[in-house]
Amino acid sequence: MHVDVERAKREAPGGKTIAHGYLLLSLLGTLMPQILEVKSDRILNYGSNKTRFLAAVPVDGRVRLALTVQETEETPAGLRVTYGVKFELEGAPKPAMIAEILFVYG
């Protein structure tokens, strides 16, 4: 139902095609630098925790990224930062996606 218009009319919320959840996750690389700038010699994407897709994003939906620093920890590899991520869906009562993502800066 993500790209099948006829199936989406029958089965999808609102009868529209919807964005893949992993498309939202992939937008982090584009949207995060618009929110924060990290000056580091080395930036390592360390992974994600607790990723949840809570609401379907219709083809014409608008999302906004909210980002919070949840935890920082000094490690032998560098500073590990855990961010709270929330993709808010315009007009929706709950976010489209929430997650924790981790980076190591060294």
- pLDDT tens digits, one per residue of 90-103: 999 999 999 999 99
CA distance 14 to 1: 12
Q: Give the domain CATH number at 91.
A: 3.10.129.10
Cα separation, 76 vs 82, whole angstroms: 16
Say whether 38 sits in a helix, a strand or coil. coil
Q: What is the pLDDT of residues 22-59, one digit of tens each?
A: 999 999 999 999 999 999 999 999 999 999 999 999 98
Average pLDDT, the chain: 94
Domain range for 72 is 5-105
Whole-model pTM: value is 0.87
8 Å CB contact between 99 and 64: no
Give the count of domains, the chain: 1
